[in-house]
Amino acid sequence: MFRIRRILDASAPANKACVEQVIAILKQRFAQLSLQELESLTEKLNNPLKYRFQCRLLVAERKSDQIQGFAILLYVPDLKFCLLDYLAAGKEVSGRGLGGALYGRVKEECRNLNARALFMECLPDDPELSPDPAIRKENQKRLAFYEGFGAFPILGTQYETPIKEGDTDPPYLVIDTLGGEFPERGFLSRAVRAILERKYGDVCPPSYIENVSQSFLDGDPILRQPRYPAPKKRSTEKVQDKDEIDRSRRIYYFANHEHLIHHVKERGYVESPVRVGAILKELVPLPFMEEKETRAFSDRHILAVHDRDFFTFLKRACAAVPDGKSVYPYVFPIRNQTRHPEDTALLSGYYCIDTFTPINKNAYAAARQAVNCCLSAADSVLSRSGVAYALVRPPGHHAERRSFGGFCYFSNTAIAAQYLSDYGRVAILDIDYHHGNGQQDIFWRRDDVLTISIHGHPRFAYPYFTGFPDEKGEGPGTGFNINFALPEKLENEDYIKTFRKALNKIEEFSPDYLVVALGLDTSKADPTGTWTLGAESYRLIGSMLGALSLPTLVVQEGGYRTRTLGANCRNFFHGIYTSWRPVRTKKRRRVTSGDRAAGRRLRHSVSRLDIEPVGKMVADTGVFSPEEVDCAKELVAEACERGASGSSYRFVFLEQGGDMLGYACYGRVPLTEGSFDLYWLVVDPRYHRRGVAAELLSAVETETERMGGRAIYVETSSTEVYSPARSFYLNQGYKEVSRLKDFYRPGDDRITFLKQLEKF
């Protein structure tokens, strides 16, 4: 068995290892590739602006992380098409259906991106173009493979014209229309020009590119008719209809059906088995929820976050308790923690943080299966880059590295987050009524896992001794633990405002994966909480989470009012499903402690030494034309020449350790009272998704207010490449106030955003 996982950057350790294996297969299967081309894969993943396409690596890997095959897909967002760069399997696994599985996953990715078409290049099967019979035979196999999935060469153009006269085997351009109509000639011509310029610009002369792309306008491009019989064991892939595309967004859930063995019947023990049944009753009928089988995982994943002595104690202590009995801790060794008691009850106090979480025969087994559910769900998130849900009890977010409590034995959320952190940056959002002290303790010194908890203030809410707002992390983790401690009585609207703040923190962190510790004890009349959230609030919360469109794992934590528990959970997932869309944004490399060690500083002065760094930064984004780069440099030069009193342009630079991370240029609009324009806001591509843009914009707003400004206007383009910029301004509180159609060029509108400054 293998899973197919998408990789959007090559920075995480597990992703680096995958890329190295992919390069090894490329060397094995494509011996003609240069070392430069092989080594460029990492940069293509990490720096899409340079290449003007987004690189997506799909890898088929076994549980041992051994890569069996891969596909490299290039997405061109401004034209909305995809190019399949490579699809290959290792020689030892070729011919076993892996290629078909990978190609099916490629098509799913294209549909999720709303791509108009999928292109690829295949060497020709025409004897006049491919005179060598051995080479032609391999070409025929490849064309027959893609034809079996509905992809055919485009005829009637000059695409297969050799770059150098006398060259053999020039490639066909093959197209998969993804179930849609054959595109019009204008789109084909623009797509071909983009392929030749962005992928082959270093080998294709401008005249060649012009002739080939023009041939799609002047000629009569058509699809070649089927030439190869369909394989007996593989039928042509069925075109997905709308309902099937929606099914690609299904939420997979993994339920701990072994939780029933953990049934503590003492009066007042609210963490009861009926909780899972109440939720399943509401989730099972939902068409977008689908249960998947849980598989077993090694203890090493638990030991990655929990102390081995604690793990061993819990396993042995549970096995030692007689059937039907429970042992509650009642002695807590705060004076001498170096001496281990011998008695099980006393040892419980050594490792426990309260008096109401028992040790019994089945606690370990139930908690261990809950971990398996969470890791199975995390694995699903890795494979599908979608949403998964671990419906588990006992819960886990109060279990710390070396302690249990609050009905929790193993920190399910933290174990899953640790598992995902091998593949990228992780944000944990705990929305249980009680503080997520387990995640805080485990990731206290980590900067690659952001921990956020929204909870009742510890002055009145369990666990009482953690969850204060000033607990921000330590060492490299300073600033990566955020606590929103809220009052005992709280209006739903105020909760939503805080929730929105938490989402803003997540967006600033720019994680690759999101883990949500879902506590439904924030609901009205929950026996362990004091707030009043209802079904509508949970649907809104789910919708806001889904709108992040991050690969998301939801882990069930608290929630004890069984009369409303299922309905609240149903509404939460309905909100996620309706707003979540497949991930389209490119993630950057992780922020390390070294990135932040030197500190950042804002500089408002400008000098001639800034001219060239500004020009290079603007050019490196890959978005702006040479004329626009020159304009950016000229504004710096003008500000230097005229000085602060004579120039209408103001600058702010964000620097760190001698590097310029980004800059903004702004100024008062002539002949207005208090209106300012933001002319440029540019971030070095190496520092994208680090909060640089937000910090610069905040500095601009502060200075504008100081200078008597009352409003800031921002103008930008409507094209796809500027979509991240538009989303950024909307997230920062700017509103679209005008749109001038075709202002820059046909199909490229000028959009104006406005923000009224608060004190006005």
CB atoms within 10 A of CB 172: 23
d(CA 259, CA 434): 22
**Calpha distance 251→391 (Å, rounded):** 12
- 377-415 as b/e, with b when 16 or more CB fall inside 10 Å? bbbbbbbbbbbbbbbbbbbbbbbbebbbbbbbbbbbbbb
Which class for 722: exposed (0-12), middle (13-18), buried (19 or more C-beta within 10 A)? middle
The reply to whether 574 belongs to the active site is no
42, 200, 206, 209, 519 from 203: Cα distances, Å? 21, 6, 10, 10, 57
Reduced to 3 states, what is the DSSP secondary structure of residue 530? coil
Q: Which of 397, 398, 434, 574 is flagged as catalytic?
A: 398
Q: Which of 243, 213, 515, 529 is nearest to 375 (CA)?
A: 515
Q: How far apart are CA 25 and CA 164, in angstroms?
A: 29
**Which residue, among 701, 708, 717, 710, has the nearest Cα to 749 in the 3D structure?**
717
Contacts of 349 (CB under 8 A, 6+ apart): 329, 330, 331, 332, 333, 341
Of 340, 352, 346, 567, nearest in space to 463 by CA: 352
Instruction: Determine the distance from the C-alpha atom of residue 379 to the mean position of all C-alpha atoms in its chain, rounded to a whole number.
Output: 14
| β-bridge mates for residue 5, sequence order | 59
| Whole-angstrom distance, CA of residue 426 vs CA of residue 442 | 14
Residues 6+ apart with CB under 8 A from 167: none
Other beta carbons within 10 angstroms of residue 14's beta carbon come to 18
Count Cβ atoms below 10 Å from residue 596 Cβ, excluding itself. 17
- Burial degree of 305 (CB within 10 A; 0-12, 13-18, 19+): buried
d(CA 693, CA 663): 8
Do residues 89 and 99 touch, judged by C-beta distance below 8 A? yes
Reduce the DSSP state of residue 301 to 3 states and report it. Answer: helix
Q: For residue 720, report the phi and psi dihedrals to the nearest 5 degrees.
A: -60, -35
Distance from C-alpha of 458 to C-alpha of 748, rounded to nearest angstrom: 53
Give the residue numbers annotated as catalytic, written as ranges.
398
